[in-house]
Amino acid sequence: MAKETKSGQQHGYREPDITTGDASAYGIEGINNILGTNAESFDEELETAWRTELTTNFYNMAKSVAKYKGFYIARYEAGKKTIDTTTTEADYTSYKGQVTMSAAWVSKAWYGFYQRLRGTKSDTNSTMIWGCQYDQVMRFIGEETEIGHNDRGLAGSLKTSGAVPKDLMKNIYDLEGNYFEWTVEAQNTSKRIFRANAFDNIGSNHNYYSPNQINNYREPNFAGHTYGARATLYL
């Protein structure tokens, strides 16, 4: 958690916290969908409810990790096996060979991703990955996360999940060259952090950026087509 300035305004990387983007049209509608509310503006009541949602989610995850000494991360980016254009808000799945979830079929940008990955199933809780969890995954994988490659068959186009055998680190697929992955972590007053790397994001040396190099941010109402997400599970 970031410290507050004298004005009460928070800056820098932090979680859990709200952003100024939550007051946008995407934000209000997305938060209403997540919370089951019908607020017309980002008023004090909606702000409190949204902050409570994020804080409760974070601390439940943290308590579970402390108790069980870890968490589960999805092997594949969130997606669905086929795209049904008449059902754009289907729940996510995580299987090899599926179409990765993106702004092409998830509305409300970051808020839509958060809603789709938030849930409880079979005595576990799922959520969009937090920044601190992503950091732990990078530490778990180790040195390979610091190296960008040009020999993994990643370039050219988006692939279905797990389609590139060499884009695999500690049994986790598509960290280096499929989609950027939204996290719940906030940055400054208005942004959300994304990690991993997209298929069209290649350095000047023709190497892909390593997943631990990508730690960037955009407004949560940004609906870029190369942005996806990855789920984590905790007990």
Give me the residues paired with residue 232 across strands.
73, 127
Identify which has the larger pLDDT, 89 or 128.
128
Which range, of 117-126, 149-158, 168-177, averages the lowest pLDDT? 149-158
Q: What pLDDT, on the 0 to 100 scale, is given for residue 52?
A: 97
The answer to whether 97 touches 161, Cβ cutoff 8 Å, is yes
Q: Is residue 151 part of a domain?
A: yes
Q: Is residue 9 part of a domain?
A: no
Query: pTM for this one?
Result: 0.88
C-alpha distances (whole Å) from 203 to each of 79, 210, 214, 225, 227 are 27, 10, 12, 20, 18
Residue 70 CB contacts under 8 Å (≥ 6 apart), including other chains? none
Helix (H, G, I), strand (E, B) or coil at 164: coil
119 falls in which pLDDT band (50, 70, 90)?
Answer: confident
Does the N-terminal peptide bond of residue 211 adopt cis geometry, omega within 30 degrees of 0? no
Q: What pLDDT, on the 0 to 100 scale, is given for residue 88?
A: 47
Q: Is residue 42 part of a domain?
A: no
Q: What pLDDT, on the 0 to 100 scale, is given for residue 84?
A: 56
Q: What pLDDT, on the 0 to 100 scale, is given for residue 11?
A: 52
102 falls in which pLDDT band (50, 70, 90)?
Answer: confident
Please compute the mean of the pLDDT values over residues 26-48 and round it to a whole number.
Answer: 96
Rounded CA Rg of the chain: 17
Residue 80 is given by DSSP the state: E
Q: Is residue 136 part of a domain?
A: yes
Q: Is residue 7 part of a domain?
A: no
User: What six digits make up the tokens of 16?
Assistant: 């859990």
List the domain range (segments joined by +) for residue 87: 69-234
Q: Is residue 23 part of a domain?
A: no
Is residue 46 scored above 70 in pLDDT? yes
Torsion of CA 14, 53, 221, 88, to 10 degrees: 140
Q: Is residue 168 part of a domain?
A: yes
Q: Is residue 198 part of a domain?
A: yes
Length of the chain: 235
CA distance 127 to 175: 18
Number of domains in the chain: 1
